[in-house]
Amino acid sequence: MRIDDYKWNKVECKGNIPSERKGMSFVEFKGQFYLFGGISDLGSLSDLYSYNPSMRIWNQIQTKNGGPCARSDHACVAENNGLIILGGRHQNMNYFNDIYHISVLSSNDRQEIKSTSNKKKGVISEEKAAIFKSFLNNKALSDIIIKVETQKWDCHKMVLVSQCRYFENMFKSNLEGNVIYSNLNS
């Protein structure tokens, strides 16, 4: 296939279209796409939307208990019966170390969010939650370090690649060493 065969087309959508934002998650689960959170000019967001690509329709999902607080820059993955949201940060730069699960299997919008934090018993077993939490900033288990000015994070290539194509391309380009440096002033 020639490179000029690749052509972007704007998709016209209907329904309850989400507001403009950045730092949100957008994942596919059983033919639907799900968008959660992010940050806009008005601050951090905690809304959840589904998108049906074959019908090009957006739908805002009203959850029963409100779910995770407003956040951006979080990880979100699809699993057997729904979505898992991990971490992120609020507009005031408070970082989160929590995990939430939402079941999105029901066709009649039966969503239920439960947390695996210490305050509530979650859908994910305590053992699985402990495994997820053990990966966060764990030097012994990490395989890459990200340094931004004076801040340093021990990370996992697999997690970075699963959430961001930038890192996938970076690692495929034979990155030298296991430290990524960035200077915000450049």
Q: What is the pLDDT of residue 135?
A: 65
Give the H or E element holding residue 59.
strand 57-61
For residue 6, what are its two tokens? 């690749």
pLDDT 10s digits, 100-148: 988 886 544 333 333 333 333 334 455 555 666 666 656 777 777 777 7
**Please, is 139 exposed, middle or buried when counting C-beta atoms within 10 Å of its C-beta (0-12, 13-18, 19+)?**
exposed
Q: What is the pLDDT of residue 14?
A: 94
Domain boundaries, the chain: 3-136, 137-186
Mean pLDDT of 144-165: 74
**Please, is 178 exposed, middle or buried when counting C-beta atoms within 10 Å of its C-beta (0-12, 13-18, 19+)?**
exposed
For residue 185, what are its two tokens? 């002033």
Q: Which fold has domain 3-136?
A: Neuraminidase (2.120.10)
Q: Average model confidence (pLDDT) for the chain? A: 76
Q: What is the pLDDT of residue 125?
A: 54
The CATH homologous superfamily of the domain defined by 137-186: Potassium Channel Kv1.1; Chain A (3.30.710.10)
Task: Band the pLDDT of 33: cuts 50, 70, 90.
Answer: very high
pLDDT 10s digits, 64-105: 886 899 999 999 998 877 899 999 998 888 888 888 988 886
- What is the strand order of the sheet 144-148 is part of? 151-155, 144-148, 179-182
Instruction: List, in sequence order, every residue forming a beta bridge with 62; answer none if it has no partner.
Output: none
Q: What pTM, to 2 d.p., does this model score?
A: 0.56
* Distances, alpha carbon 75 to alpha carbons 132, 173, 183, in Å: 12, 23, 23
pLDDT 10s digits, 5-23: 788 889 999 999 999 999 9
121/33 Cα distance (integer angstroms): 27
- Taken as a whole, the chain contains a residue count of 186
For residue 126, what are its two tokens? 């305590």
Pairing of strands 75-79, 113-115: unpaired
Task: Band the pLDDT of 49: cuts 50, 70, 90.
Answer: very high
CA-wise closest residue to 28 among 81, 103, 101, 78: 78
- Which stretch, 19-28, 60-69, 158-167, has highest mean pLDDT? 19-28
Q: What is the pLDDT of residue 123?
A: 44
